[in-house]
Structure 1
């Protein structure tokens, strides 16, 4: 007598175990790992057994989808099946299972598979790692703009800038507190702030992130408002000084030119001296007139020296 229709036989326990193992292997996703260009990364599998490791084989599959063996740990220790492949001297195994890759290059991105065999069991453990190599994240530049400054506070705009080709995103944080800040533009770069006097001691930090690393820059609002306010006051003072210095410089130039003109004018001729003749009484017959030792230079002698004599003395 046959079995009733619609009744299923139970699966064999061994067959069920194999199906579960296959389903688990098919559903396992590679562990994501991020690295920085030029840096290093360590691929370290998690062992499910405490048995002694017999061998560990590492395989790499990159953009070409070609799977190649790159490293092996066995009775002879760490070995490289092909030391002249793309990794050359950049691979090492610090222990029996982990793989370290140094001097990361863009072509190192891909899937790395490790097959681990134990001495006390025939089971082979298989783990995958999906490595992505990123460019280093530069330190963000904070651009500030003071919109207004008064005793009631100041209004500022903060912008977090990165080079256009950087594959990273930015976010603003207040004193290392995460979350969206009030006044955020939504693009992660610009922040509009109305700062009251009691919040001038706050510090805002811009964080630039990639899956591999992050960099940050901070700005103090107290320093920003004081510096920017001082710049405005200095601008006003410089404008006033320029308005005063302009006419003064013109006046100095005019005085200097007038002084030079006075120094270059011809000198005034020296006024000739007039001789003073003392009054004397009538001369006596036997008294000879006095003879001056040196002739006295007078205006009359000057005039007479410039003319020819009109009469000759009688002999």
Structure 2
């Protein structure tokens, strides 16, 4: 019996210790966290933009106060921003640096708005909601900021036509800072086999692209999409701009030749008509001869003529 007790007592003690640990690990009913995105970005914006932190909790008569604080990645401890209370005309702002005073705003529904975002304004923003019962809960937002993406450009390094196919080598470039960018090539009007082989589509994530395009798909397009978690820009290139079809070029030159012939014929006809009129006008006058003393009259072409008297 003593042996059984000696074996059971350590086991009971261990179970009691585990239970105490689990109880201590559970959140207190007076303070609970609805959302804690400290390990991921819940809000992604570009520098210079704006953001609004919307609460999931509905405003009710049991809310006494909502307090916003900001835990910047550069600061050691969170900074209190503002205290919002229902039925109060103006929120109570804490002391902020001059450069931040005009960037924060609180709406009538206690949402925190931030404009003209700078890199230092990334970090954790916490809304502590206090109730008249003495309980409280928190909503946490992690704001991550990124550089805006400049408009990309597609550069054609080489192109050649062989047996109805256009062989091209392209590059999608963006000026300035190009870190942490994803490049995707998409197509419109081209055979689906190109995407299935990974040549195009979401599986293609490289700035450089070399492929063969069928010239039969004359109205097709290639699009380069450059993106980061907060922004996206694209550039499009038409297939006819990369590799013009020979038939289309011949038809263009044919129409240009026909137009040139028409213009030449019109010009020659106009000059011939003008010269004919000048010749007819010159033949309608007699020459006066002072030596013979004859008095000549003018000749006018028509049904009746006047001769020398």
**Fold match (TM-score > 0.5):** yes
Which structure has more RCO (C-alpha within 8 Å, separation ≥ 6)?
2
Shift of 1:78: 2.5
Contact 1:36 1:136 in 2 (8 A): yes
Residue of structure 2 in register with 1:135 after alignment: 147
**Residue aligned with 2:12, SS:** coil
Structure 2 matches for 1:118-133, cutoff 5 A? 118-119=131-132, 121-133=133-145
Bigger Cα Rg: 1
**1:219 and 2:237 are equivalent in the alignment:** yes
How many equivalent pairs are there? 231
Q: 1:16 to 1:97 in 2, by over 3 A?
A: farther
Cα distance in 1 for residues equivalent to 2:107 and 2:178: 33
Gaps of 5+ in 2: 254-309
C-alpha separation in 1, matches of 2:106 and 2:226: 32
1:58 partner SS: strand
SS in 1 for 2:241: helix
1:206 corresponds to which of 221, 224, 249: 224
Partner of 2:186: 173
Tell me the TM-score normalized by structure 1: 0.61
Partner Cα distance (1:116, 1:128) in 2:
11
- What TM-score do the two structures reach when normalised by structure 2? 0.62
Partner deviation per Cα, 1:163-214 (whole Å, 9 max, x = no partner): 2522322111123998873279966111112112333332211111111111
Q: CA deviation at 1:222?
A: 2.7
Taking a change above 3 Å as real, the CA distance of residues 42 and 179 of structure 1, as seen in their structure-2 partners, is farther
Q: What displacement does 1:147 show?
A: 2.4
Kindly indicate whether the alpha-carbon contact (under 8 Å) linking 2:35 and 2:140 is maintained by their aligned counterparts in 1.
no
Q: Name the CA distance, whole Å, in 1 between partners of 2:162 and 2:234.
A: 30
Whether 1:29 aligns to 2:37 is yes
1:77-126 per-residue CA deviation (whole Å, 9 max, x = no partner) reads 4232125444111111224332110000111112211111134x432111
Contact persistence 2:188–2:221 (CA under 8 A): yes
2:57 pairs with 1:47: yes
Instruction: Provide, for residues 53-76 of structure 1, a one-character-per-residue CA deviation record: whole Å limited to 9, x for no partner.
Output: 321111112212232111221142
